[in-house]
Structure 1
Amino acid sequence: MKFQTREPESAAFPLAPMIDVVFLLLIFFIATMQFSQSERELNVSVPVAEEGADARQTVGELIVNVRDNGEVVVDHAVMTQEQLYSKLTRIAAVHKNQAIRIRGDGKVEYQKIVEVIDICQKAGIPNISFATQVQSKRK
Protein backbone atom coordinates (compact mmCIF):
# COMPACT_ATOMS: atom_id res chain seq x y z
CA MET A 1 0.00 0.00 0.00
CA LYS A 2 1.12 3.37 -0.87
CA PHE A 3 0.28 6.19 1.55
CA GLN A 4 0.09 9.80 0.58
CA THR A 5 2.25 12.09 2.65
CA ARG A 6 0.91 15.53 3.17
CA GLU A 7 3.00 18.49 4.04
CA PRO A 8 1.77 20.16 7.22
CA GLU A 9 0.27 23.60 6.77
CA SER A 10 2.47 26.54 7.49
CA ALA A 11 2.08 27.83 11.04
CA ALA A 12 2.88 31.41 10.14
CA PHE A 13 1.64 34.03 12.58
CA PRO A 14 0.02 37.07 10.91
CA LEU A 15 2.06 40.01 12.14
CA ALA A 16 0.26 42.86 10.36
CA PRO A 17 -2.92 42.71 12.50
CA MET A 18 -0.82 42.40 15.66
CA ILE A 19 1.19 45.50 14.74
CA ASP A 20 -2.06 47.39 14.11
CA VAL A 21 -3.36 46.46 17.55
CA VAL A 22 -0.12 47.52 19.24
CA PHE A 23 -0.20 50.91 17.52
CA LEU A 24 -3.84 51.44 18.48
CA LEU A 25 -3.04 50.64 22.12
CA LEU A 26 -0.09 53.00 22.02
CA ILE A 27 -2.24 55.81 20.64
CA PHE A 28 -4.91 55.14 23.28
CA PHE A 29 -2.46 55.32 26.18
CA ILE A 30 -0.76 58.45 24.86
CA ALA A 31 -4.12 60.19 24.44
CA THR A 32 -5.33 59.25 27.93
CA MET A 33 -2.02 60.40 29.43
CA GLN A 34 -2.48 63.82 27.82
CA PHE A 35 -5.98 64.16 29.25
CA SER A 36 -4.87 63.20 32.76
CA GLN A 37 -1.99 65.69 32.65
CA SER A 38 -4.26 68.55 31.59
CA GLU A 39 -6.05 68.53 34.95
CA ARG A 40 -2.75 69.21 36.71
CA GLU A 41 -1.94 72.20 34.57
CA LEU A 42 -4.77 74.28 36.04
CA ASN A 43 -3.84 77.28 38.13
CA VAL A 44 -3.83 75.46 41.49
CA SER A 45 -0.83 75.58 43.80
CA VAL A 46 -1.23 72.58 46.11
CA PRO A 47 0.25 72.69 49.62
CA VAL A 48 3.75 71.43 50.33
CA ALA A 49 4.35 68.43 52.61
CA GLU A 50 7.49 66.61 53.70
CA GLU A 51 5.95 63.28 52.79
CA GLY A 52 3.98 64.24 49.68
CA ALA A 53 1.87 61.65 47.94
CA ASP A 54 2.65 60.22 44.54
CA ALA A 55 1.55 62.80 41.96
CA ARG A 56 0.67 60.20 39.33
CA GLN A 57 -3.00 59.82 38.64
CA THR A 58 -4.43 56.35 39.00
CA VAL A 59 -6.61 54.85 36.29
CA GLY A 60 -10.14 56.24 36.43
CA GLU A 61 -9.35 58.76 39.16
CA LEU A 62 -11.32 62.01 38.96
CA ILE A 63 -9.49 65.21 39.90
CA VAL A 64 -11.45 67.98 41.61
CA ASN A 65 -9.55 71.27 41.64
CA VAL A 66 -10.36 73.98 44.17
CA ARG A 67 -8.84 77.31 43.16
CA ASP A 68 -7.68 79.98 45.60
CA ASN A 69 -10.90 81.97 45.06
CA GLY A 70 -13.03 78.93 45.98
CA GLU A 71 -14.05 77.91 42.45
CA VAL A 72 -14.43 74.18 41.92
CA VAL A 73 -13.12 72.93 38.56
CA VAL A 74 -13.67 69.45 37.16
CA ASP A 75 -12.72 68.53 33.58
CA HIS A 76 -11.90 72.18 32.80
CA ALA A 77 -15.42 73.29 33.78
CA VAL A 78 -16.19 75.55 36.74
CA MET A 79 -18.98 73.93 38.75
CA THR A 80 -21.37 74.96 41.45
CA GLN A 81 -21.92 72.68 44.43
CA GLU A 82 -25.16 71.39 42.87
CA GLN A 83 -23.46 70.60 39.55
CA LEU A 84 -20.60 68.82 41.34
CA TYR A 85 -23.06 66.79 43.40
CA SER A 86 -25.01 65.84 40.27
CA LYS A 87 -21.84 64.78 38.42
CA LEU A 88 -20.49 62.76 41.35
CA THR A 89 -23.86 61.07 41.94
CA ARG A 90 -23.97 59.91 38.31
CA ILE A 91 -20.39 58.64 38.54
CA ALA A 92 -21.03 56.85 41.86
CA ALA A 93 -24.05 55.08 40.34
CA VAL A 94 -21.77 53.48 37.74
CA HIS A 95 -18.50 53.09 39.69
CA LYS A 96 -19.06 52.05 43.30
CA ASN A 97 -15.46 52.68 44.42
CA GLN A 98 -14.67 55.77 42.31
CA ALA A 99 -11.43 57.47 43.34
CA ILE A 100 -11.45 61.25 43.79
CA ARG A 101 -8.33 63.38 44.23
CA ILE A 102 -8.90 66.85 45.61
CA ARG A 103 -6.32 69.42 44.48
CA GLY A 104 -6.94 72.36 46.78
CA ASP A 105 -4.90 75.52 46.39
CA GLY A 106 -2.77 76.27 49.44
CA LYS A 107 -4.47 79.64 49.87
CA VAL A 108 -8.09 78.43 49.67
CA GLU A 109 -10.25 78.54 52.79
CA TYR A 110 -10.42 75.18 54.52
CA GLN A 111 -14.22 75.45 54.53
CA LYS A 112 -14.26 75.15 50.71
CA ILE A 113 -12.30 71.89 50.89
CA VAL A 114 -14.66 70.56 53.57
CA GLU A 115 -17.64 71.42 51.35
CA VAL A 116 -16.15 69.39 48.49
CA ILE A 117 -15.50 66.46 50.85
CA ASP A 118 -19.07 66.71 52.10
CA ILE A 119 -20.43 66.67 48.54
CA CYS A 120 -18.33 63.56 47.78
CA GLN A 121 -19.69 61.82 50.87
CA LYS A 122 -23.31 62.75 50.04
CA ALA A 123 -22.83 61.45 46.48
CA GLY A 124 -21.66 58.10 47.86
CA ILE A 125 -17.96 58.40 47.10
CA PRO A 126 -15.79 57.49 50.11
CA ASN A 127 -12.50 57.02 48.21
CA ILE A 128 -11.01 60.53 48.54
CA SER A 129 -7.36 61.58 48.51
CA PHE A 130 -5.59 64.93 48.56
CA ALA A 131 -2.85 66.21 46.27
CA THR A 132 0.30 67.67 47.81
CA GLN A 133 3.75 68.58 46.59
CA VAL A 134 6.91 67.05 47.98
CA GLN A 135 8.95 69.63 49.82
CA SER A 136 12.19 70.34 48.01
CA LYS A 137 15.33 69.22 49.85
CA ARG A 138 17.59 72.08 50.92
CA LYS A 139 21.31 71.56 51.18
Structure 2
Amino acid sequence: MKKKRSHRRKQSSEVNLGFQIAPMIDVVFVILLFFMVKAGDIQVENAHITKLPGTEATAEAVSMPDEISVMIDDDGQVSLNEDPVDDPQSKDMPALTSALYALKQSSEATQSKVLVTIYANELAEYQRVVDVLDSLTRAKISDVTFQAGAPE
Protein backbone atom coordinates (compact mmCIF):
# COMPACT_ATOMS: atom_id res chain seq x y z
CA MET A 1 0.00 0.00 0.00
CA LYS A 2 1.09 3.47 -0.72
CA LYS A 3 1.56 6.03 1.88
CA LYS A 4 -0.29 9.19 1.55
CA ARG A 5 1.87 12.17 1.53
CA SER A 6 0.42 15.05 3.20
CA HIS A 7 1.34 18.37 1.81
CA ARG A 8 0.93 20.78 4.45
CA ARG A 9 1.10 24.36 3.47
CA LYS A 10 3.42 26.43 5.60
CA GLN A 11 2.05 29.48 7.17
CA SER A 12 3.44 32.82 6.03
CA SER A 13 4.95 33.35 9.43
CA GLU A 14 6.94 30.13 9.08
CA VAL A 15 8.51 31.10 5.70
CA ASN A 16 11.70 33.15 6.05
CA LEU A 17 12.99 34.37 2.73
CA GLY A 18 15.60 36.63 4.21
CA PHE A 19 16.78 39.90 2.73
CA GLN A 20 17.08 39.59 -1.05
CA ILE A 21 19.77 42.00 -2.27
CA ALA A 22 20.16 40.73 -5.86
CA PRO A 23 16.93 42.33 -7.21
CA MET A 24 17.84 45.63 -5.55
CA ILE A 25 21.30 45.60 -7.15
CA ASP A 26 19.73 44.87 -10.56
CA VAL A 27 17.38 47.86 -10.22
CA VAL A 28 20.22 50.15 -9.11
CA PHE A 29 22.37 49.10 -12.08
CA VAL A 30 19.51 49.69 -14.53
CA ILE A 31 18.92 53.18 -13.11
CA LEU A 32 22.67 53.88 -13.19
CA LEU A 33 22.87 52.72 -16.80
CA PHE A 34 19.91 54.96 -17.73
CA PHE A 35 21.54 58.07 -16.27
CA MET A 36 24.90 57.25 -17.86
CA VAL A 37 23.30 56.98 -21.29
CA LYS A 38 21.33 60.21 -20.80
CA ALA A 39 24.47 62.06 -19.69
CA GLY A 40 26.11 61.22 -23.04
CA ASP A 41 23.28 62.95 -24.95
CA ILE A 42 23.74 66.31 -23.25
CA GLN A 43 25.27 68.85 -25.63
CA VAL A 44 27.62 71.41 -24.25
CA GLU A 45 26.60 74.93 -25.20
CA ASN A 46 29.39 77.17 -26.37
CA ALA A 47 29.39 80.92 -26.19
CA HIS A 48 29.16 82.55 -29.61
CA ILE A 49 30.34 86.08 -29.99
CA THR A 50 27.85 87.72 -32.31
CA LYS A 51 28.09 91.22 -33.59
CA LEU A 52 24.65 92.63 -34.24
CA PRO A 53 24.12 95.00 -37.15
CA GLY A 54 23.99 98.65 -36.34
CA THR A 55 24.38 102.00 -37.99
CA GLU A 56 27.74 102.83 -39.39
CA ALA A 57 28.91 105.82 -41.36
CA THR A 58 30.18 105.13 -44.88
CA ALA A 59 32.56 107.21 -46.96
CA GLU A 60 30.72 106.68 -50.24
CA ALA A 61 27.06 106.70 -51.14
CA VAL A 62 25.26 103.36 -51.17
CA SER A 63 22.86 102.85 -54.05
CA MET A 64 19.60 101.10 -53.43
CA PRO A 65 18.59 98.39 -55.88
CA ASP A 66 15.97 99.10 -58.52
CA GLU A 67 12.76 97.24 -57.71
CA ILE A 68 10.52 96.18 -60.57
CA SER A 69 7.04 94.77 -60.07
CA VAL A 70 5.44 92.37 -62.53
CA MET A 71 1.74 91.72 -61.96
CA ILE A 72 -0.14 88.76 -63.42
CA ASP A 73 -3.92 89.19 -63.49
CA ASP A 74 -6.55 86.45 -63.46
CA ASP A 75 -7.15 86.84 -67.20
CA GLY A 76 -3.43 86.43 -68.01
CA GLN A 77 -2.66 90.12 -68.54
CA VAL A 78 0.90 90.94 -67.45
CA SER A 79 1.75 94.42 -66.20
CA LEU A 80 5.24 95.83 -65.72
CA ASN A 81 5.21 98.50 -62.99
CA GLU A 82 1.42 98.83 -63.45
CA ASP A 83 1.71 99.29 -67.27
CA PRO A 84 0.15 96.45 -69.29
CA VAL A 85 2.55 94.74 -71.68
CA ASP A 86 1.93 92.12 -74.37
CA ASP A 87 -1.25 90.28 -75.20
CA PRO A 88 -2.69 87.88 -72.56
CA GLN A 89 -2.41 85.03 -75.11
CA SER A 90 1.23 85.81 -76.04
CA LYS A 91 3.48 83.02 -74.75
CA ASP A 92 6.84 84.58 -75.70
CA MET A 93 6.02 88.08 -74.40
CA PRO A 94 8.56 90.00 -76.53
CA ALA A 95 7.63 93.43 -75.15
CA LEU A 96 8.14 92.30 -71.53
CA THR A 97 11.44 90.62 -72.40
CA SER A 98 12.80 93.68 -74.20
CA ALA A 99 11.69 96.04 -71.40
CA LEU A 100 13.30 93.82 -68.76
CA TYR A 101 16.48 93.52 -70.83
CA ALA A 102 16.67 97.32 -71.17
CA LEU A 103 16.21 97.69 -67.41
CA LYS A 104 18.94 95.11 -66.81
CA GLN A 105 21.36 96.98 -69.12
CA SER A 106 20.63 100.34 -67.48
CA SER A 107 21.15 98.85 -64.02
CA GLU A 108 24.49 97.38 -65.12
CA ALA A 109 25.51 100.80 -66.47
CA THR A 110 24.75 102.42 -63.11
CA GLN A 111 26.21 99.42 -61.24
CA SER A 112 23.04 98.78 -59.28
CA LYS A 113 21.12 95.60 -58.69
CA VAL A 114 17.75 94.76 -60.24
CA LEU A 115 15.13 93.14 -58.01
CA VAL A 116 11.96 91.81 -59.59
CA THR A 117 8.87 90.97 -57.56
CA ILE A 118 6.18 88.88 -59.25
CA TYR A 119 2.66 89.51 -57.95
CA ALA A 120 0.37 86.73 -59.15
CA ASN A 121 -3.34 86.81 -58.38
CA GLU A 122 -4.79 83.70 -56.81
CA LEU A 123 -6.67 82.66 -59.96
CA ALA A 124 -3.79 83.37 -62.38
CA GLU A 125 -2.68 80.39 -64.43
CA TYR A 126 0.59 78.75 -63.46
CA GLN A 127 1.64 78.63 -67.10
CA ARG A 128 1.49 82.42 -67.23
CA VAL A 129 3.83 82.62 -64.22
CA VAL A 130 6.20 80.24 -66.00
CA ASP A 131 6.02 82.46 -69.12
CA VAL A 132 7.04 85.48 -67.02
CA LEU A 133 9.91 83.47 -65.49
CA ASP A 134 11.04 82.50 -69.00
CA SER A 135 11.01 86.16 -69.97
CA LEU A 136 13.12 87.01 -66.92
CA THR A 137 15.57 84.27 -67.87
CA ARG A 138 15.91 85.65 -71.40
CA ALA A 139 16.57 89.11 -69.89
CA LYS A 140 19.24 87.52 -67.62
CA ILE A 141 17.60 88.71 -64.40
CA SER A 142 18.12 86.30 -61.50
CA ASP A 143 16.97 88.20 -58.40
CA VAL A 144 13.26 87.35 -58.33
CA THR A 145 10.77 87.17 -55.46
CA PHE A 146 7.14 86.05 -55.43
CA GLN A 147 4.11 87.43 -53.66
CA ALA A 148 0.55 86.24 -53.88
CA GLY A 149 -2.10 88.83 -54.55
CA ALA A 150 -1.82 92.50 -55.47
CA PRO A 151 0.95 94.78 -54.21
CA GLU A 152 0.11 96.82 -51.14
Paired residue secondary structure (2:134): helix
Cα distance, 1:74 vs. partner? 1.4
1:79 aligns with 2:117: no
Q: CA deviation at 1:116?
A: 0.2
Two-structure CA RMSD over aligned residues (Å): 1.7
Deviations 1:58-77 (A, max 9, x none): 85210000000000011332
The sequence identity of aligned pairs, in percent, is 24
**Residue correspondence of structure 1 range 1-139 to structure 2 within 5 A:** 60-80=66-86, 81-96=93-108, 97-132=113-148
What letter corresponds to residue 95 of structure 2 in structure 1?
Answer: Q
Answer 1 or 2: which has greater helix percent. 1
The code of the aligned residue for 2:136 comes to C
C-alpha distance after superposition, 1:35-82 (max 9, x if no partner):
xxxxxxxxxxxxxxxxxxxxxxx8521000000000001133210111
Query: Distance between the aligned counterparts of 1:92 and 1:59, measured in 2?
Result: 11
Which structure's relative contact order is higher, taking Cα pairs within 8 Å and 6+ residues apart? 1
Q: After the TM superposition, which segments of 4 or more aligned residues of structure 1 sit over 4 Å from their partners?
A: none
What are the ranges of 5 or more consecutive residues in structure 1 without an aligned counterpart? 1-57, 134-139
CA contact 2:121–2:148 (8 Å) conserved in 1: no
Q: Which runs of 5+ in 2 are unaligned?
A: 1-63, 87-92
Q: Distance in 2 between matches of 1:132 and 1:126?
A: 19
**What is the Cα deviation at residue 119 of structure 1?**
0.3
- CA–CA distance in structure 1, aligned partners of residues 102 and 66 of structure 2: 14
TM-score (norm. length: structure 1): 0.51
Number of residues of Structure 1 aligned to a counterpart in Structure 2:
76
Largest Rg, 1 or 2: 2
